[in-house]
Chains A and B, each alone.
Chain A
Amino acid sequence: MRTEVIACWLGIAAVLGGLTVPLPSAYAQGLQVSGGLDGRLTTEREGRETGPFRPQLTGAFLNLRKVWSDEFGDRWIGVAQADFDDNLRRVRPYQLYLQYKGPLGKWNLRGGHYLLPFGLLATYDTERLVLQGLEKRSLGIRKDTGMQAFGRYGSWDYAVSLSDGLSDVRFADSRANPVLTARVAYVAGDAQLGFSALARRVLLDSGPRPVDVRERRFAVDATKSFGPLTVRAEGVGGTDNGRARGGGVFLGDYALNPKLDLNTRYAFWNTHDAGHGAGLGLTYQIRQGLFFRTAGTYQSRRDDHYGFTVQLYYEFSKLL
């Protein structure tokens, strides 16, 4: 557990250190510091169904980003982000990596702790939104530590990642079980169609004894805008030790005016449990960087559950 905290501060130190120790023959740019605060009044509970309204600072994050250029262009990118969750009681590295960008970005190499290139998660991170994607249920893992190669070829984007699988395991056993993730996507303007695959071994603690599970997942994801309407959808299928698993999510955002968005979500899943859920919400931009969000959710698992969340979200960015 301490390694996460140490990793956070080592990463931050590494990016900060780049200010004074630039990489060979490189031009170091300024340090981009950004951050955010995610405050909520909610009936939703992590790992449980729902409860009475509770105010909380769900998360705060600090992100440092630094770019080093050579004579042809931006070449090295360092990112260190620490998240402080649950009223600042928990700290975890969110993204912590060093990236080498090849010419024109046709290929890139990234090493460290990063979001996995799988499904919608590859292009759309819903971590700080009220209505979120499906990956916590369909994969049980969103980010991991390893190496990733990604880039583009013509109209296609590609990404392949090999990571250690230790980031989100419920039992921190001594084995590092590799996670192999890959995605290709056809990109045409603001539309894209992606195909992803993931394979890993994981110890699940859902029963009386930990179970060694061989997880295989495939996904098709799509994103497209139709004027004020942006739709994102993902279908996931696969197996856990040969047993069929599946699910899907649809996210739709409709701009009612420049400051107000209507947000919708529908998801269903059959993974370690089965159910479906729906959500309807509003996002209002109070001013630059400050958002008010609210959403009502319905979830059917063993019973029906209704939740309600009000969020105040603030983000900032500054070059030092």
Chain B
Amino acid sequence: MALRFSSTTSSASCFSRALLVFLALVLFAAPALADVCVWRDPERTMQRIFPAARDYKTITVKFTPENARAIEKQLGFSIEEPAQGGEFNFYDIIGAVGGKPRKIGTVIALAGKGEYGVIEVVIGVDDAGKILGAYIQRSRERATKALESPGFLDQFNGKTSASSFDVGSAIKPAAGAEAASRTVAVVIRKMLVFNQVLNKGDGMNV
């Protein structure tokens, strides 16, 4: 069921052409990974944070030098997201009021570097940017159970981008996972700042 472009093309020339394509793309293409963290299994987890959710709408916003600078100024450190993908996804959660659709919050997903790979974190925020719920979407850390425990994650409920996320004082680290707890705290703070700076209703589909 396969089509050969040319039956006379030799394997060597085909490989040479393929190798050139490979090298050109790997060397010159920007490592543009749009979904630094994809929100997996969204419908099931969405209702955990927003029980009144009817559906969700993906909002994709591009990083610009201006908003990247604004984010870095608020965070106090540089971010790598613009270099990685140049865009970021928010998921507007839509409920129904009087049968009419209305945005009731936003879900944000982002990954941070753990000791055994990325830790993917998801939060739900209300329209004021306050956290309604947080959960670990994926973690390969040894102390994943502690990271996923309500005792650790519920500490983030009610926080905004202006809150303190200092692990040790404002946030009690998950047992046996202090480094991973710091990663989670930084990732959650970044998402709140991203939401404040980027998610102004001017996404690609609105």
Contacts and interface: CB of A to CB of B under 8 A. Distances in A.
Interface of A: 1-2, 4-5, 27-30, 32, 34-35, 37, 39, 55-57, 60, 67, 69, 71-74, 85-92, 103-106, 152, 167-169, 172, 187, 190, 225, 227-230, 255-258, 261, 287-290, 312, 314-319
Interface string B12-48: 0011011101100110011111110000011110110
Given A27-B206, A37-B26, A57-B18, A90 B3 contact: yes
B140 A72 contact: no
Contacts of A258: 113-118
B117 A290 contact: no
A57 B60 CA distance: 33
Given A1-B2, A168-B1, A287 B31 contact: yes
Interface of B: 1-6, 9, 11, 14-15, 17-19, 21-22, 25-26, 29-35, 41-44, 46-47, 53-58, 60, 62, 84-87, 92, 94, 96, 101, 113-118, 138, 140-144, 204-206
A230 B140 contact: yes
B103 to A, nearest CB: 10
Contacts of A39: 18-19, 22
Contacts of A103: 54-55
Nearest to B143: A227
B22 A57 contact: yes
Nearest to A38: B22
Nearest to A285: B117
Contacts of A69: 57-58, 205
B31 to A, nearest CB: 5
Contact of A88 (B18, B26, B33, B144): B18
Among A168, A169, A255, A290, residue most surrounded by chain B Cβ atoms (within 10 Å): A255
Contacts of B113: 258
